[in-house]
Amino acid sequence: MSEPEPSPAIRRLFEELEAEFEAGLRREMEQQTVAALRAQAAETLLWEALARRVGSEVAVQAGRRWFRGTLVASYPDFFVIRDGGRNQYLVRLGPAVSVTLRPERQPLRLLPSTPRYRFALALRELARRREPVRLGLADGNEAQGTIEVVGNDHVELAEHDLGEARRETALTGRRFLALAAIVVVTLLPDSR
């Protein structure tokens, strides 16, 4: 014996209940996804968030100074921007640094597998290349010249006019600076 066919009203009621149940499951999945993304974001470090936005136009406040340009790279303790004049700035991550991005939403990139390149290592490379630099300091002052030595917690800077090559006759002094005092390193386009 066969079961009687349910009335159209009952069939419609079951279809509505099933649709509500499926919509509830979708909402629950969306909420779980949002919660997982928030949990992941809570574990993200600033340098990682910046690394996902490489190529974006940024405005950076480092102490009292402002820099605008394209975010070129981000590492665990500094990031690099390039301005329209082709100057490059190595900006040390710290309490006096903030980064502003334009409001348009850009797709986030996957976090590249970057080596653990550090600020001191970047300074050692600049010393090796004998590139003239301008150092923006935490107290708002600047120093310029060629980095001679990068120690564990300091740099030795041979001070000279950036327009002149680093020669003993061009030196105006030698300066020792704590790494913690350096907020921004400016690389000039004609020095590369």
The number of folded domains in the chain is: 2
User: Do 60 and 38 fall into the same domain?
Assistant: no
Q: Do 14 and 77 lie in a common domain? A: no
Mark whether 63 and 36 lie in a shared domain. Answer: no
- Do both 30 and 69 map to the same domain? no
Same domain, 123 and 108: yes
For residues 39 and 97, membership in a common domain is answered with no
Residues 69 and 30 in one domain: no
For residue 99, which of 68, 122, 142 has the smallest C-alpha distance? 68
Nearest partner of 179 among 148, 161, 152, judged by Cα:
152
Q: How many CB atoms lie within 10 A of CB 71?
A: 21
Distances (CA, A) of 18 to 12, 23, 30, 99, 191: 10, 9, 18, 48, 69
55 lies in the same domain as 131: yes
Q: Which residues, 6 or more positions from 90, have their beta carbon under 8 angstroms from its beta carbon?
A: 78, 79, 80, 119, 122, 184, 185, 187
Statement to judge: residues 8 and 73 lie in one domain: no
Dihedral class, residue 173 (left if φ above 0, else alpha if ψ from -120 to 50, else beta): left
Phi then psi dihedrals of residue 104, to 5 deg: -65, 140
186: number of Cβ within 10 Å: 21
pLDDT of residue 1: 58
Provide the residue-wise pLDDT of the chain in tens; the chain has 192 residues: 567 777 887 778 778 878 888 888 888 888 877 676 666 666 778 888 888 888 899 999 988 889 999 999 999 999 999 998 889 999 999 888 899 988 766 655 555 555 678 999 999 999 999 999 999 999 989 999 999 999 999 999 999 988 888 888 888 899 999 999 999 999 987 654
Q: Is residue 42 a contact partner of residue 54, using CB atoms and an 8 Å limit? A: no
- Give the CATH number, domain containing residue 85: 2.30.30.100
Q: What three-state secondary structure class fits 83?
A: coil
Do residues 54 and 21 both lie within one domain?
no
Helix (H) or strand (E) holding 82: strand 78-82
14 and 105 share one domain: no
Q: What range does the domain containing 15 cover?
A: 1-43
Regarding whether 33 and 59 lie in a shared domain, the answer is no
